[in-house]
Amino acid sequence: MAVRTRSGRAARREGFASSWRVPGSESGGRRTVWIHPGVPVEFHFAEDAPVIDRAWADALMRTADTAAGLHLVPESGAGAPGAGAPGE
């Protein structure tokens, strides 16, 4: 996913978790990674930067400010309360 935004936690130089569901064809379940400013990360894109859907970015940021950490929500479900949250 190419998202050129950062959560408030990253802006405050705090670490945060990012989680997503793994499709059944990939053994199912959920994956979580810990993201921290002290860990170097580099992204390379082979094409122009994508247009970011502001409502989607806001939905991602709302999940990042929870105790459960950032959860990837589908762009089409950005307006749905709790879209993509664990247990749904």
- Residue 6 pLDDT > 60: no
| 75 and 55 Cβ atoms separated by less than 8 Å | no
Mean pLDDT of 44-56: 78
CA atoms of 75 and 57, how far apart (whole Å): 9
Q: Band of the pLDDT at 45, cuts 50, 70, 90?
A: low
For 54: left if phi > 0, alpha if psi spans -120 to 50, otherwise beta; the answer is alpha
Please report, for the chain, the start and end positions of each structural domain, with discontinuous segments joined by +. Answer: 15-43+50-76
48 vs 82, more confident: 48
pTM here is 0.43
